């Protein structure tokens, strides 16, 4: 006969031993899996590191090539610098020579560009890069003149007539010849409290106010004889404010005189326009000024054979 307590003890001991064996086996397996995962992660990190190193080597090689290229450029800086001044000097000489043979549009600003570059060339502290940039800007402006329509105030190109409007206003600002504009009339009213027609030019106070205003108008270029109109490089036109004198520039006469032709041709650079053409050109000037509805401009183009 088997004693039950003893048998129960033995079975329990066997079960506990089996459980411990399974636990130990599972723990070893888990440890192996953990070590395997760690090893795989190390392999991946190693591969990533190798890729990073390879990329860094490529970047380093690229940078070394750039450094070599920059060093090569720096070695040529002295040579390039020594060539900038003669280049700009040649550009300036060509520019000024062409201006002397060109129509005299925007003359003040064009000669001002040349003066700026000449000043830079004479300045030992001027940077070659700035000087070359200024020269290229000058050439760019000349190119743009060929594709633009421009209008600006100016005096009659005929020396005998130049300044006639200022003289007329100085003699009598109320005269039709003076042609006081709306802006001028408003300035007169603001300063004197009177309209233009109410002024008494024999009155000392009114006369003093008018004299001061005329100086301001002259300084602000509000008393110019008329307006110039440039249509690209095709035509250069002048018209008095009242349209009584309209002229077109004949560049062929200027170039012919410079080429050793009849020097009297230089006196015929401006050609007076009359009749229908006079009306059309005056209308074109008013359109450019924004004083007339925009229509197709009819501009005669002088062709020199």
Say whether pLDDT at 1 is over 50: no
For the segment 257-298, what is each residue's pLDDT rounded down to a tens digit? Answer: 776 655 444 556 899 999 999 999 999 999 998 888 888 887
Q: What is the mean pLDDT of residues 95-106?
A: 88
For the segment 117-132, what is each residue's pLDDT rounded down to a tens digit? Answer: 999 998 988 888 888 8
Tell me the domain boundaries of the chain.
83-152, 164-219, 226-289
Greatest mean pLDDT range, 76-80, 106-110, 298-302: 106-110
Say whether pLDDT at 71 is over 50: yes
Q: How confident is the model at residue 2 (pLDDT cuts 50, 70, 90)?
A: very low
pLDDT recorded at residue 26: 58
Q: How confident is the model at residue 46 (pLDDT cuts 50, 70, 90)?
A: confident
Query: Per-residue DSSP letters for the chain?
Result: ---HHHHHHHHHHHHHHHHHHHHHHHHHHHHHHHHHHHHHHHHHHHHHHHHHHHHHHHHHHHHHHHHHHHHHHHHHHHHHHHHHHHHHHHHHHHHHHHHHHS--TTHHHHHHHHHHHHHHHH-TTS-HHHHHHHHHHHHHHHHHHTT-EEEEEE--SSTTTTTHHHHHHHH-TTSTTT---HHHHHHHHHHHSS-GGG--TTSHHHHHHHHHHHHHHHHTT-S-SEEEEEETTTEEEEEETTSS-EEEE-HHHHHHHHTTS-GGGGGGSEEEE-HHHHHHHHHHHHHHHTSS-------------
pLDDT recorded at residue 293: 85
pLDDT recorded at residue 229: 94
């Amino acid at each position: 006969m088997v004693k039950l307590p003893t048998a129960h003890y033995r079975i329990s001991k066997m079960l506990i031993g089996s459980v411990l064996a399974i636990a130990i086996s599972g723990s070893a397996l888990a440890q192996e899996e953990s070590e395997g995962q760690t090893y795989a992660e190390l392999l991946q990190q190693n591969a990533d590191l190798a890729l990073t190193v390879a990329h860094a080597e490529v970047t380093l090689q690229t940078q070394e090539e750039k450094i070599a290229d920059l060093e090569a450029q720096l070695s040529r800086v002295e040579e390039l610098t020594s060539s900038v001044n003669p280049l700009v000097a040649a550009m300036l000489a060509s520019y000024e020579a062409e201006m002397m043979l060109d129509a005299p549009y925007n003359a003040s600003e064009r000669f001002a560009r040349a003066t700026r570059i000449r000043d830079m060339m004479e300045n030992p502290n001027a940077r070659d890069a700035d000087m070359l940039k200024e020269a290229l800007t000058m050439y760019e402006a000349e190119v743009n003149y060929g594709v633009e329509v421009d209008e600006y105030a100016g005096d009659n190109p005929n020396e005998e007539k130049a300044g006639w409007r200022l003289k007329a206003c100085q003699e009598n600002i109320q005269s039709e010849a003076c042609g006081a504009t709306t802006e001028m009339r408003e300035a007169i009213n603001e300063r004197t409290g009177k309209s233009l027609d109410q002024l008494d030019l024999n009155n000392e106070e009114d006369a003093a106010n008018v004299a001061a205003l005329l100086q301001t108008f002259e300084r602000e270029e509000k008393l110019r004889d008329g307006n110039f109109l440039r249509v690209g490089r095709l035509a250069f036109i002048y018209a008095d404010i009242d349209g009584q004198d309209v002229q077109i520039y004949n560049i062929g006469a200027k170039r012919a005189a410079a080429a050793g032709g009849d020097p009297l041709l230089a006196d015929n650079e401006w050609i007076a326009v009359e009749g229908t053409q006079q009306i059309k050109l005056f209308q074109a000037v008013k359109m450019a000024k924004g004083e007339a509805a925009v229509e197709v401009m009819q501009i005669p183009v002088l062709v020199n054979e």
